[in-house]
Amino acid sequence: MKSVRSILKVYNGPKIKKIKKIKFLYVRNKTVYNITAPFKYEGKTYLLGRIENIKDETSIICFFRKSGSYFIPDSSFQKFELEDPSLTQIKDFYILTGVETKLYGKKLRWRTVFYKGKNLRNLKKFTTGPWGMKDIRLIEIADEKIGVFTRPQGKRGRRGKIGYTEINSLKEIKPRKLSQAKIIPNLFARGEWGGVNDLLILRTGKIGILGHIARFSKDKNKFYYPMVFAFDPKTWKNSTIRLIGRRAEFPEEDSKSPELYNVVFPGGIIRKKGNLATIYVGIADTESYEITIKDPYKYYEDNDMKIFT
């Protein structure tokens, strides 16, 4: 495994073709960040974002509808008292997840909450992950199975590792089952951590993973980097991690607090024609951006035999 610092030594940058700040209307005195990639629904373009009050840091997940060059909250959809949204489709269901936080005395606890529905206007809570686990992501794989990526912390995962398991039905998503997911080895160096943010199936049948890898600086500031790697669920082999951005490549912005200034949190990716891809990220826990770069997954597809044999 390589540390973030060692990866940065050979990092040449994502060669950003385009960078654009995503603008939101009707969210005065609030921040919107950690967004999903945009998606089409009922003929319109939407994305999910985390809205946070500047003063009390209360977070909700909201559907935003594209209107011209802006995104505006769509009150015809539910709002969720959660953080860091993700959205996917499994079989005939839309699956929305977010992070629920609760304060027990002076101790903050968190877990992933799952909603599902045949349409996005009727999503019902159906299960939760274990306490202490964020960033649980699902993807349909071969043989009608569902791949589940987890993020154990504490005794098994320290600050955060990536686990993987497979299930046959959404009914199998239970805290105990997710807690027992096998950890993918050799991804993060000691003292560093990471998680999965978005998933897709590559043309080779492997799983393309958009995620984050993070570390503390000497003065205890957090540095989050968007990254990708490929994973073969049949052999449990994975590629090396490749960074696709860092904070210095984005415009300066206010941050929620100084220790969060260098956080770049990816929420989704859309592959495009011409060997390009657009990544959607939250910056410094305050703003949202999209960047268009060279498709980071093409390398894994073109070098599949080299990587996975």
Distance between CA 271 and CA 262 in Å, rounded? 26
**CATH classification at residue 178:** 2.115.10.20
CB under 8 Å to 49, separation ≥6 — which residues? 24, 32, 33, 34, 35, 36, 61, 62, 64, 71, 85, 288
Q: Is the pLDDT at 1 greater than 80, yes or no?
A: no
The gap from C-alpha 223 to its chain's centroid, in whole angstroms, comes to: 16
Q: Is the pLDDT at 150 greater than 90, yes or no?
A: yes
pTM for this entry: 0.95
Least confident of 135-139, 162-166, 251-255, 263-267: 251-255
Least confident of 11-15, 28-32, 142-146, 237-241: 11-15
Closest by CA position to 78, among listed 109, 37, 116, 126: 116
pLDDT band at residue 16 under the 50/70/90 scheme: confident
The pLDDT value recorded for residue 2 is 82
- Rounded to an integer, the average pLDDT of 157-163 is 92
- Rounded to an integer, the average pLDDT of 143-164 is 93
The residue with greater pLDDT, 214 or 53, is 214
Residue 258 DSSP symbol? G
CA dihedral angle for residue 184, residue 190, residue 195, residue 200, rounded to 10 degrees:
-50
Distance between CA 25 and CA 8 in Å, rounded? 36
Domain total in the chain = 1
The pLDDT value recorded for residue 210 is 98
Beta partners for residue 136, in sequence order:
none
- pLDDT one-digit tens code per residue, 75-103: 999 999 999 999 999 989 999 999 999 98
Contact call for residues 89 and 95 (beta carbons, < 8 A) = yes
Query: With the C-alpha atoms ordered 15, 161, 238, 197, is the resulting torsion angle positive or negative?
Result: negative
Q: 277-280: which pairs have CB atoms within 8 A and are 24 or more residues apart?
A: 278/37, 279/210, 279/226, 279/244, 279/245, 280/22, 280/35, 280/36, 280/37, 280/38, 280/47
Largest CA distance in the chain: 53
Distance between CA 279 and CA 266 in Å, rounded? 7
Share of the chain above pLDDT 70, in %: 100
Q: Which residues span the domain enclosing 22?
A: 4-308
Question: By three-state DSSP, how is residue 69 classified?
Answer: coil
- pLDDT one-digit tens code per residue, 164-193: 999 999 999 999 999 999 999 989 999 999
Question: By three-state DSSP, how is residue 156 classified?
Answer: helix
- pLDDT one-digit tens code per residue, 19-71: 999 999 999 889 999 999 999 999 999 999 999 987 777 899 999 999 999 99
CA dihedral angle for residue 212, residue 272, residue 307, residue 183, rounded to 10 degrees:
30
Three-point CA angle 195, 198, 204, nearest 5°: 110
